[in-house]
């Protein structure tokens, strides 16, 4: 899938930042990234690192592929030294970290909100992770193909579709549009920024349903 790095990536960052503002994050706030590999040191191709610092973004990156029990004590030390205000990661990595914290009676002293992507966050995971970190989770639905985007706001009563990002449709098993609330359907997306390789009505095989009513945050996007 080809993408215009000067358009689609920058536009997506703007929408991601808008969601994180609803969780209280500002530019320059320390944040921990626990998702995939830690980026290599500038000027090298070494991707075997289990941690790295992003000075431009004021971020601590920890590899989600090296979370052994022995390594987790090193992770905990790095987190305590860095004192992140926010976390960005996936639900599996955050659950592993939260269970390690519970086993070792480690408490969260600095994190004010957690932003999750890449994976589905299940209700039992949300309840457990929030109970350990004593803060709220803000989940986001997205994809590398950049055909659809939806995020949780501070009310946590559903996902707001990124209406500037693209068009989200829900189709039934006969590929007919679903227009009623609370009926599961296949997510189909058409991104607005995929100029060099447009994906029109891209079928994701993900499943969602339209929420009932409007969000108390008063945002008017599709929910």
User: What are 170-187's pLDDT values in tens digits?
Assistant: 999 999 999 899 899 999
User: What are 106-124's pLDDT values in tens digits?
Assistant: 999 899 999 998 888 999 9
How does residue 6 score in pLDDT terms, banded at 50, 70 and 90?
Answer: confident
- Confidence (pLDDT) at 85: 93
- 3-state SS assignment for residue 136: strand
Mean pLDDT of 96-102: 95
Of 30 and 214, more confident: 30
Q: What are phi and psi of 18, to 5 degrees?
A: -60, -45
- Confidence (pLDDT) at 45: 66
Of 95 and 109, more confident: 95
User: What are 153-162's pLDDT values in tens digits?
Assistant: 888 888 898 8
CA atoms of 69 and 194, how far apart (whole Å): 41
Angle, helices 123-133 vs 91-103, to 10°: value is 50
User: What are 17-75's pLDDT values in tens digits?
Assistant: 888 888 878 888 899 999 888 777 665 666 667 888 888 888 999 999 989 988 999 99
Q: What sign has the CA pseudo-torsion 105, 92, 23, 54?
A: positive
- Confidence (pLDDT) at 44: 61
- Confidence (pLDDT) at 213: 79
How does residue 221 score in pLDDT terms, banded at 50, 70 and 90?
Answer: confident
pLDDT at 193 over 80: yes
CA atoms of 200 and 149, how far apart (whole Å): 14
């Amino acid at each position: 899938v080809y993408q215009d790095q000067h358009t689609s990536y920058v536009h997506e960052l703007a929408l991601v930042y808008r969601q994180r503002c609803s969780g209280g994050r500002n530019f320059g706030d320390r944040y921990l990234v626990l998702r995939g590999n830690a980026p290599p040191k500038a000027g090298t191709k070494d991707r075997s690192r289990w941690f790295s610092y992003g000075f431009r973004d004021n971020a601590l990156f920890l590899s989600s592929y090296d979370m052994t029990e022995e390594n987790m004590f090193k992770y905990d030390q790095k987190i305590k030294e860095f004192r992140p205000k926010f976390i960005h990661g996936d639900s599996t990595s955050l659950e592993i970290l939260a269970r390690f914290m519970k086993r070792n009676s480690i408490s969260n002293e600095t994190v004010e909100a957690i932003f999750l992507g890449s994976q589905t966050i299940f209700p039992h995971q949300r309840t457990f992770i929030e109970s350990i970190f004593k803060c709220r989770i803000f989940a986001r639905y997205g994809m590398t193909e950049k055909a659809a985007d939806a995020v949780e706001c501070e009310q946590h009563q559903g996902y707001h579709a990124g209406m500037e990002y693209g068009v989200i449709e829900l189709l039934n098993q006969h590929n007919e549009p679903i227009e009623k609330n609370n009926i599961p359907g296949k997510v189909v997306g058409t991104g607005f920024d995929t100029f060099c390789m447009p994906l029109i009505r891209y079928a994701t095989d993900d499943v969602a349903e339209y929420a009932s009513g409007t969000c108390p945050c008063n945002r008017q996007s599709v929910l």
